[in-house]
Amino acid sequence: MSPKTVTDQEILPGSRVLVTGASGLLGRSVAQKLVDLGYEVTTLQRSSSSIDGAQEVRGSLSDPEAVTRAVEGQHAIIHMAAKVSVSGEREEFVEVNIRGTERLLEAAWSAGVDNVLHVSSPSVAHGGSSLVGEGAGAADPEHAEGNYAQTKAEAELIAETYGSAGMNVLIIRPHLIWGPGDGQLTHRIVARARSGRLPILGSGAALVDTLYIDNAVEAFVAGLRRLPAIHGQRLVLTNGEPRPIGELLMGIAEAGGAKRPRMRVAPAIAKAAGLAVEKIWASASRVTEMPGDGEPPMTKFLAEQLSTAHWFDQRRTRESLDWTPSVSVDQGLEKLSEHVRRTGGVL
């Protein structure tokens, strides 16, 4: 490694950085920001990332040859690629989230890549109860709920194993990213509100922390830069502005051009219905194309997320990253609304 680009304290512009999963909003945005700052960026993903100035390796984490080519000569890796869904066969999650992480880190170790920023999720340490001002507890595959959370928890433990062996590993768990261009949370909230299928569970008063996309990008760039000095940590990443979940859903729906959701459902009923829907959806999805966004309208995990508090102490995150959010939740809603007006309703 060149001392001009990587030191014991920082990974500087000019360093070679691999970003996996750069076809998604967060990965694409982080990779483009790194290019703009002067990093030499390579991306690994199945479809084109459309990032000006980055080198592409087209392939998946299931392809050992593509993974080997992608990691060769890198100073650092930001590992974002994952199977993200509230439904689906467990084997699909295992192949990407567990085996894919194993292939990537094994190849990185063999290639002498010293620095890895592993992107995880707060759900890896969430067993369904409320989280109030929590930090980043240890990943717990046994008690994490759903295939996504369980396999991401196992992937995080794999990353920590490499950290214990001498690799610089920093784990960041972003929570509920939203904003313009987001095809996950933002799209689903707005699409379901537009169709009248977005419920408010119970009173909607449970406090929930979220993360605006611009803040996520800035934080990940800060994490990469400071990785040699702060490795070995687990950091939950949010705006640090807990809001009632009902207020957030209504705000994002309105900013996206939809009417405020009016349907209210008791949490216990939603959880019971979610369990039943999961079973029906899993069986039906094997033989037919599912409607809408391909996700079930409710699952037990989703019902818990919409009815229990989950917000996090951000003091350690901000101190470690030397970062604070630049866009508040209210400013983010304004930006989303402006984007939707400017694009004629496109999120």
User: Has residue 30 got a pLDDT over 60?
Assistant: yes
User: Has residue 87 got a pLDDT over 80?
Assistant: no
Residues forming the active site:
148
Burial class (CB in 10 A: 0-12, 13-18, 19+), 10: middle
User: Has residue 264 got a pLDDT over 90?
Assistant: no
What's the rounded mean pLDDT across residues 182-210?
A: 90
C-beta atoms surrounding 344 within 10 Å: 7
User: Has residue 117 got a pLDDT over 80?
Assistant: yes
CA distance 130 to 271: 15
**pLDDT over 70, % of the chain:** 90
Q: Please, which pLDDT band fits residue 202 given cuts at 50, 70 and 90? A: confident
pLDDT at 284: 54
pLDDT greater at residue 73 or residue 274: 73
Superfamily of domain 16-178+210-240+311-326: NAD(P)-binding Rossmann-like Domain (3.40.50.720)
Q: Which two tokens stand for residue 186?
A: 């933002």
pLDDT greater at residue 219 or residue 279: 219
Question: What pTM value is reported for the model?
Answer: 0.91
- At 168, the amino acid letter reads N
Could you give phi then psi for residue 292, rounded to 5 degrees?
65, -130
CA distance 225 to 38: 12
What's the rounded mean pLDDT across residues 72-93?
A: 92
User: Has residue 287 got a pLDDT over 60?
Assistant: no
What's the rounded mean pLDDT across residues 203-226?
A: 96
CA distance 149 to 155: 10
For residues 167 and 118, the answer to whether their CB atoms sit within 8 Å is no
pLDDT greater at residue 284 or residue 138: 138
